[in-house]
Structure 1
């Protein structure tokens, strides 16, 4: 059962899918339409899931489920991943590449491949004060409070320590 994102409780479980580029306006409309349709019919063990989804920063698809009603099962999560894979194929975009790290500088989002992080730090593209998206968070509350983090306070701190030596 689809519901508005604003009506989801703060303890809702979330998944964040990051695109390798910004969505176009028409892609955003298509994603929202297909997302609503998928979530309207999303079930776990034949039980309806209360769920929602939205796009943030023209680059992230966020799916939330209220697990106080019904838990998302392994099979339902597999259905979600399959839905995302179908979007990838339709839109010719990567949404499941976890080696792509997103950063925010001056309201602009850019990404760096994990193997190139050290190089980006050395060049000054990423600094200790750069905002990084933590796409591993799992609750709506954490999305609101800790999705964006200062690079020096994350796993990236080890790259800055190398620069100081």
Structure 2
């Protein structure tokens, strides 16, 4: 059953899918009915799920689920991934690729390949206080309070400690 995203409780589970490029307003508007339909029809073992989906920052598809109503099963999670794959085709973007890390600078989202992160830190393109979209957040509360947050406060902190210990790499 569909619910507005802001009506999901703080402990609702979330899944974040990052687009390979910013989506335009018209693109997002065009898929809103599909997002609502998916959330409305999403089930787990025949039980309706209380769910929502929306795009944030023109880059991130976020699917939320109130697990107090019903938990997602492996099959229902597979169904959500199939839905995301269909959106990829419809929008002409990649949403399931996890190789890009997203950061926020001056109100603009930019990405760095995971394999190029060390070089970006050394070049000063990514700093400990650069806001990072940690797409591993698990709940709506974390999404609301820790997404994005300074890279040095996330799992990326280890990249900055290394730079402090070895200034020759900078």
Give the alignment's TM-score, normalised by structure 1: 0.95
The separation in 1 between residues aligned to 2:121 and 2:99, in whole angstroms, is 16
**1:135-162 deviation digits (Å, cap 9, x = unpaired):** 0111111111112221122222222233
User: Are positions 1:116 and 2:116 aligned together?
Assistant: yes
Number of paired residues? 165
Query: Any gaps of 5 or more consecutive residues in structure 2?
Result: none
Partner residue in 1 for 2:84: 84
The separation in 1 between residues aligned to 2:49 and 2:163, in whole angstroms, is 47
Partner residue in 1 for 2:74: 74
Partner residue in 2 for 1:23: 23
Q: CA deviation at 1:116?
A: 0.6
Taking the TM superposition and a 5 Å limit, the aligned residue runs for 1:1-165 are: 1-164=1-164, 165=166
User: What do you get for the CA RMSD once the two structures are aligned?
Assistant: 1.1
**1:58-87 deviation digits (Å, cap 9, x = unpaired):** 111111111111111110110000000011
Bigger shift: residues 148-157 or 84-93: 148-157
Q: CA deviation at 1:31?
A: 2.3
Bigger shift: residues 147-156 or 12-21: 147-156
Q: CA deviation at 1:30?
A: 2.1
Q: CA deviation at 1:118?
A: 1.2
Give the alignment's TM-score, normalised by structure 2: 0.92
**1:31-58 deviation digits (Å, cap 9, x = unpaired):** 2121111111111111111111111101
Query: Any gaps of 5 or more consecutive residues in structure 1?
Result: none
The separation in 1 between residues aligned to 2:136 and 2:145, in whole angstroms, is 13
